[in-house]
Amino acid sequence: MPSGSPDFHSGVNQGVAPVTYGQGERPPRGDYAQARADYTCEQDWAAYTPEQHELYRRLFERQSAQLPGLACDEFIAAVSQLGEPSQIPRFEALSETLFRATRWQVVAVPGLIPEEAFFALLAQRKFPVTGWLRKPEEFDYVVEPDVFHDLFGHVPLLFEPRFADYMQAYGIGGLKASRLEACEHLARLYWYTVEFGLIDTPAGRRAYGAGILSSGGELRYSVTSPQPQRIAFDLDRIMRTRYTIDSYQASYFVIDSFQQLIEVTAPDFTPVYARVAASSVLAAGESAPGDRPR
């Protein structure tokens, strides 16, 4: 399966390493043999070449230039915490800064990891960051999450206390969701919030999803294009809605605040899963009664 919007990975709801992509096996980009039982591994920072640091810097520069007016303020305020953009950050140093802020850490993983392992790390306030970086020819399009997507897309909002708590609550919820269809429903919640979420602000609609914020083209598209459907956040609606991973999103869900994410994920999801299982599944971009356009 080709990636989602350019710069975004596919197969996220498979998450079983090595991940298969549609037309059969794709060799994993990371070395899973070196990973520990919890799928974490060491970041081999010395192995990054000057060319890789330069590619990371160019990606960082391109995305940073686009943020004003498109990314939420909390993200823009925290991007500088990633450190000097001329080099791929050392995860250990970044974790010290992040831990002081919200008690989260960044841990290296070889790539996509099984959902159970992923949930377990989030539940411990450990965010798994892929060690490898895309190739120069993948500047605009990478199939799986690389270190730029994970660091630039996901880490800044882990400095935002309410979002940081939401991410841990999500991991804890994932560990409870032992049934397969619940994991599929949770993967949709992750996709339409953590990866492709939009937020309404007094200054207008802004992006907070990592898949959008790390994408060269989808950041502007998701916030400004008249083409996609934008719907007010609704947990049942999100869990009923499939997502596409080979194009820009056809649907985006808009929250009012990060506090809303915390409140919505506080209760046990069992009744939600039951309601969703009794409802029809919706295609990305499909309208449904009760939708509140945003």
Contacts to ligand HBI by CB under 6 A: 12-13, 15, 109, 112-113, 115, 118, 128, 130, 145, 187, 190
CA 65/CA 216 separation, integer angstroms: 10
Nearer to ligand HBI, 167 or 219 (CB): 167
CB 15 within 8 A of CB 112: yes
CB of 214 vs ligand HBI, minimal distance in Å: 12
| Residues annotated as catalytic (active site), given as ranges | 149, 154, 195, 214
CB of 210 vs Fe ion, minimal distance in Å: 5
CA 62/CA 81 separation, integer angstroms: 17
Q: How far is CA 219 from the centre of its chain?
A: 13
Nearer to Fe ion, 74 or 273 (CB): 74
Nearer to ligand HBI, 150 or 200 (CB): 150
Tell me which of Fe ion, ligand HBI, none is bound by residue 109, counting a contact when its beta carbon lies within the kind-specific cut-off of 5 to 8 angstroms.
ligand HBI
Instruction: Let me know if 150 is exposed, middle or buried by CB neighbors in 10 A (0-12, 13-18, 19+).
Output: buried
Nearer to ligand HBI, 117 or 223 (CB): 117
Tell me which of ligand HBI, Fe ion, none is bound by residue 261, counting a contact when its beta carbon lies within the kind-specific cut-off of 5 to 8 angstroms.
none
Q: Identify which of 40, 37, 155, 44 has the alpha carbon closest to the alpha carbon of residue 95.
A: 155
Tell me which of ligand HBI, Fe ion, none is bound by residue 40, counting a contact when its beta carbon lies within the kind-specific cut-off of 5 to 8 angstroms.
none
CB of 150 vs ligand HBI, minimal distance in Å: 7
Pairing of strands 198-201, 204-207: antiparallel
Tell me which of ligand HBI, Fe ion, none is bound by residue 10, counting a contact when its beta carbon lies within the kind-specific cut-off of 5 to 8 angstroms.
none
CA 233/CA 257 separation, integer angstroms: 10
